[in-house]
Amino acid sequence: MMKRWKEKLRSQFARKRSRSLIGLDLGTTVIKAVEVTLDEDDQPVVTGVASRELKPGEDLSETLLALLADAGFAAKEVATAISGKSVVVRHLSTANMTDEELSQAMRFEADKFLPYESSEVLMDCERLQRQPQLGGEDDDGRTETIGVALAACRNTVVEELYRMLVAAGLTPIAIDAEVFALVNAYEFCNGELANTAPVETDGVEEGEGVDEQQIAAKAHTDSAYESYDTIEDEYEDEDELYDPYTGTGTIEPSTPPPLSGCAVAIADVGSTRTQISVLIGGETCFSRDIGVGGADMTQAIARRLSVETEEAEQVKRMPSEHADEVREALESVIDDLVGELSMSLDFVESHEGLSVGKILLTGGGASTPGLFEAIVQSTECEVALWSLFENIKVDEEAVDKEELEQFGATLAVAIGLAARVVAA
């Protein structure tokens, strides 16, 4: 039985897929879906968006069926993702070796941190182009180590998810890890990571629309960029110029900051947790789940105002006359979240020799009052709410723009999954 469903899933990758794909994000409290279709010119267009809350006592499969019935997607093929404790993702470094040797070595490494037998696990790994610790103080960029992304999940979890999707009338073509779906979303929505350059604030005085903390953040980012903007006159041979993936050569001034050591972080603030991913050169170099999310913030407001959870959620979104009380209620929760985020970025910068130039906030809790300001103040990085649909073509006849604006910030994972249609 186990062999049969795995073979079916592999066959979906092998055959030619249709021109439409549903990206399905099975959240803990809300299911989100995005349909992306290739137009006549093979350009991706968002042709459907749907969201449905998981009602108390309602089974996940029932909610999925109801979402599909309301959405009316044309596509039947779907890509979804696994997150939380069900999946283990690690970014490791190891000696350079062949792909076959790497697969065997990673199986051995996985046994060290997986809480179950390796025979019960579906596992995959991929070598990264960028060397570990590139640019670090003790790294001359000429080491023989390679970076590896490793993902593992129990067979039974994938099997159960596969069966549920098939029962809903869908054809699963991929079951991914959420962290990699976020990477796909960034590439799909923002293009190459060279778009992390800081906003222009030169000549802008305080009070002209640019927050004082953001000006300080720009100075912090600029200083990070400056360390990668040097080239000595003696290096005139093109072969001696800097290669951001091998670490050899000297840095050319025109090298885009993300490829020369300045990375972007994505903080996806979900209901029960916040997922942090750090990207550079189109690859992740760090990922982590923090056990603080929007539900914790809602509960803090409910306790402070002595109201039910549903009312507290509405107040969180629109504080109005309760603004001061909401900020007081959220202070300790936000401090915990921001503290963990700051420590994560410090770890990345010290262990990977990177400077994080920008933080993108997404997810249902991204707009929580006080969170944006707290992150800017703690990290001194530029911070922005991720405008997912800013550079994406949307079929306005099929997608309600007002609805999209209302919950569009929660769709990063779903978009990243649906973006797989581009490679079909």
Q: What is the pLDDT of residues 303-332, one digit of tens each?
A: 999 999 889 888 888 888 888 898 999 999
Instruction: Determine how β-strand 355-362 pairs with β-strand 382-385.
Output: parallel
> From CA 322, how far away is CA 260, in angstroms rounded?
45
Query: What percent of the chain shows pLDDT beyond 90?
Result: 34
- The first and second tokens of residue 124, run together, are 């995959």
- Residue found under tokens 């400056």: 226
pLDDT digits (tens, 9 = 90+) for 175-224: 999 999 998 999 888 864 333 333 444 443 444 444 554 445 445 445 44
Higher pLDDT, 369 or 253: 369
pLDDT digits (tens, 9 = 90+) for 405-424: 778 889 999 999 999 988 75
Mean pLDDT in residue range 290-306: 92
Phi/psi region, residue 236 (left: phi>0; alpha: psi -120 to 50; beta: rest), is alpha
Q: Cα torsion for 275, 278, 281, 284, to the nearest 10°? A: -60
Mean pLDDT of the residues in the chain: 78
41 close to 18: Cβ distance less than 8 angstroms: no
- Residue found under tokens 């009602």: 55
Domains of the chain (ranges plus CATH)? 2-190 (3.30.420.380), 195-387 (3.30.420.40)
pLDDT digits (tens, 9 = 90+) for 11-31: 554 445 468 999 999 988 899
Name the DSSP letter for residue 205.
Answer: P
Q: What is the pLDDT of residue 161?
A: 93
Kindly report which listed range (45-54, 260-269, 334-343) carries the lowest average pLDDT score.
260-269
- The first and second tokens of residue 292, run together, are 């603080």
> At residue 200, what is the residue type?
E
Angle at 54 between CA 53 and CA 57, to 5 degrees: 145
Q: What is the pLDDT of residue 110?
A: 76
CB atoms within 10 A of CB 227: 13
How many angstroms separate the Cα of 402 from the Cα of each of 116, 175, 277?
46, 30, 29
